[in-house]
Structures are given as structure tokens and as C-alpha cells.
Copies of this chain bind each other. A is one copy, B any other.
Amino acid sequence: MDVEQMVVSMCQAAKKAARTLATVSTPVKNQALLQAAIRLRQDSGTLLAANLQDVEAGRDKGLSSAMLDRLTLTETRIEAMAEGLEIIAELPDPVGETLTQWRRPNGLEIGQIRVPLGVVGVIYESRPNVTADAAGLGLKAGNAVILKGGSEAFLTNSAITDTLTAAAVEAGLPAAAIQLIRSTDRQAVATLLRQDRFVDVIIPRGGEELIRAISERSSVPVIQHFSGICQTYIDAEADLQKALRICMNAKVQRPWVCNAMENLLVHESVASRFLPTLFADLEKAGVEIRGCERTRKIAPQVKAATEEDWRTEYLDLILSVQVVNSLDDALDFIHAYGSGLADAIVSENYSHVRRFLHEVDSATVYANASTRFTDGFEFGFGAEVGISTNRLHARGPMGLRELTTYKYIIQGDGQVRG
């Protein structure tokens, strides 16, 4: 069987499994998750042996030490995967929730009910923990999951999937509930992306390049997560103590994530009071600062920011700073350069805050808090599937509910249309 036929058969099997999964009870799904956690621990020897082969092959291929580290499984990492599945088992089942229900004048009762998306394809890069994570989340939301991991983790992902599938089957679920595309042929992904008859959504997890390549080629809807160019605006009426704390957190706590601050906007009336203190703290934390002309008048040691800097997601200890004349200028900057993920205002002025919250059209808009809260766990979702920069279907942090859709159930007693 060639790779194309193989992928099509897997997608068909997934579609069939999805029909079963949609009506499986919560305890059965939880049982599959808990059983998978037990089996991951039991099978750790097999998993580590498979992983060792991947790591050795990766070393021979000259993978960077960062990549090798991400690829490497340890007892601790296996334990974390198992605990992750136990946490998912404890989360409320999103399926079956009545979103709204109403009665029409003709007596028809119309209910909008949450149901699984169906078949979810997850394409990801090296970290093998995504295999368990994505399978667990997809399954809990009642979906059949088709996984395609990075080729460097081929044997590791295969071993993890074998373990997960055995647990699913033991709990009474179809074997095709969780499937891994076991091919490193590029044709495999290309085929998957064309199966809109069988696959309902593709979720790519990885760098922007991977996501763009998938989005461009997919006939299946893709839930995208592009870049996070996040701004924090320090208003003329900001509490500068809060501003300092929020800026340090947004830039320094975890600079390589999408919700970290990339551009700082400061109102001209507070710039000379605020920036020297902030810059001292940032420099202590190892942050390189790039500023506009007015920033550099206040802090001459700062490097000049270029037009390119305002558009760059550094994901690093680098910050671009612009002094602005007004709230309007800050709003214009955010609309021009922001990526619509997370933006914050620091201000004690009611009307300024209100305008910012209304007019900034980003997935998450903050008043007096760090943009770092744009995260499924911080939102209280209990799990995170990812953060969507799409405008349709799901926007911002995605939990289990975002892996579902709805259907309408209409109950009558013989109604016909007049």
C-alpha cells in the first residue's frame, strides 16, 4: 500500500471511529485516559528504548543540542505525560452541554447542543509529549485524532501511540480513536491536508513556517497560531509601580513565548519619569532595548529601533520602545504592528481604559495586567489545546470546549412549515 492510500484509509477509519466516540459516555473516555496513564508508566522501558534509538539517530544526523533535548524522553517526562492525561480525565466533559434552548411560537423546542468536532488532525514538531497531550485532549472532547509528529521522533511517537491505543481499546473505544501517521514521506502530510471529506480540522503545533506551509496547502480548515507581537501601553495616567511590575513580567518572565511583550509604548508625559527606572531593571535582567528617537533622548545608551523592529516577534530578551503622543497614537501603533494576540494598557483613567478595551481588536485585551495571562491554564480552562489567532471558530486560548462544535436538536409534535 502506498503512503497516499495508507493516509486515506486512516482518515476513513477515523471518521468511522468518530461516530462511535461522539456518543461514548464520559466514564469510558476517562477510563481510556487513566488506563493510558497507567500504561505509559508500565511501558516506560519500551518508550525509553525507542526514544534512545531516535536520539542516537538524531545525534548522527547532527541535530542541535536544543533539538536533541526536546526530543529526549526521561522517566520524569513520561511521568509528566501520564499526569497530564490524569488531569484531562478530571476535567469536565464538554460534550452534551446545552448552550441555549428556546421555544418557538409554534411549539418547536430548539436546543443548541455541544458535540465533538469529529476528526482532528494534529501536525507537530519534535517534542514527543505532544503525542499524549493532543491525543488526550482530542479524545476527551469526543474526537478521533490523527497525529503526525516530526520524523526525528518517529520511533518514540510510535511507541507512545501503541501504548495510548492499547489503553483506548481496553476501555472499549475503537482502535482508530488515536492514530499516528507512521511515515516520514512528505506525501503523507500532503495527503492528510486534502482529506476534507474525512478530517474536520487540522491543528498545527510548531513554528510559524510550519503553520504557514500547512495553511496554504490545506483544504481542511486549519486552526492557526501565527506570531504574537504583543504591546503594552503605559498611559499618561498610569500607576507607574503597576506599570513597572507589569512590563517586567511581560518581557522577562518567559521571553520566548507568544504572549510576551515585544513593543512597549509609553505616553510622552510619563516617559522621562518611567523609562530610566524600567530600563535599569530590564538591563539588570539582560534585556537589550531598542528605542525611538525620543526614547534615546531619555536613555542615550539605547540602540535605535528600525521599522523592522516594530514588526518583529523577538521571542528573546529584546524590547522595542516607542514614546507616543497620545492614546490614539498607541491605538494606531497596535493596529499597524500588533498581531492581534494580546495587548495591554496600564492606566488609572477610566475613559482611557474603556477606549483601549473597546478599540483594540485583539484576541485578548488587558487593563492593568500582564499579557502573559493569555493562556488556557491562566484562563481557568484546565488544559490548553493552543492559542488561536484565527477570527473564526475559536479566538485566543483554546481549551477542550474549542475542540467541539454544536448541533441543533429540534423537538416537536407534528409541526410542519406553513
Name A's B-contacting residues (CB within 8 A).
19, 22-23, 102, 104, 108, 110, 115, 117-118, 200-201, 215-216, 219, 221, 239, 241-242, 245-246, 248-250, 253, 335, 353, 357-359, 361-370, 372-373, 378-380, 390-393, 395-397, 405-417
Contacts and interface: CB of A to CB of B under 8 A. Distances in A.
A176 B204 CA distance: 35
Nearest to A103: B380
Given A246-B416, A411-B368, A392 B221 contact: yes
A321 to B, nearest CB: 19
A407 B396 contact: yes
A358 B413 contact: no
B219 A117 contact: no
B365 A410 contact: yes
Each complex incorporates copies of this chain amounting to 2
B417 A392 contact: no
Contacts of A379: 104, 110, 408
A417 B370 contact: yes
Given A104-B380, A413-B368, A417-B378, A391 B405 contact: yes
Contacts of A372: 416-417
A407 B117 contact: no
Given A391-B405, A392-B393, A242 B22 contact: no
A217 to B, nearest CB: 10
A122 to B, nearest CB: 15
Nearest to A332: B19
Contacts of A361: 19, 22, 115, 118, 407
Contacts of A253: 416-417
